[in-house]
C-alpha cells in the first residue's frame, strides 16, 4: 500500500533549482561519469519531456546506453 507520494516541483524538495540537476549529480557521483556530459545530454530532451513526447524514464535509458558506450570507448 502506498502511504506517501512526494511531488517535487523543481527545488521544493531539493537544494538545486531543478530535480534533474540533483539526479544528474547523484548519477555522476555513483557512476563516475562527467556531470556536465550527463546534464547536457539530458538537456537536449527537455522540450520533448515537457510536452510528453518522451518520458524521463526513457531519456535516462538512452543516457545510460550512450554513457556506457562512451565509458567503454574511453577504456
pTM exceeds 0.75 for this model: no
The CB-side HSE value for 71 (13 A sphere, CA atoms) comes to 13
DSSP 8-state symbol, 16: S
**pLDDT exceeds cutoff 70 at 70:** no
CA distance 15 to 64: 24
3-state class of 35 per DSSP? helix
pLDDT level of residue 48 (50, 70, 90 thresholds): very high
- Assess contact for 57 and 46: CB atoms under 8 A: no
CA distance 24 to 12: 17
Give pLDDT, residue 23. 81
**Does 31 or 14 have the greater pLDDT score?**
31
Cell of 34: 562527467
Amino acid at each position: 500500500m502506498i502511504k506517501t507520494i512526494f511531488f517535487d516541483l523543481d527545488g521544493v524538495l531539493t537544494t538545486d533549482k531543478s530535480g534533474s540537476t540533483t539526479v544528474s549529480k547523484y548519477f555522476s557521483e555513483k557512476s563516475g561519469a562527467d556531470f556536465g556530459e550527463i546534464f547536457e545530454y539530458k538537456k537536449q530532451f527537455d522540450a520533448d519531456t515537457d510536452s510528453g513526447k518522451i518520458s524521463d524514464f526513457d531519456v535516462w535509458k538512452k543516457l545510460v546506453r550512450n554513457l556506457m558506450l562512451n565509458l567503454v570507448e574511453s577504456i
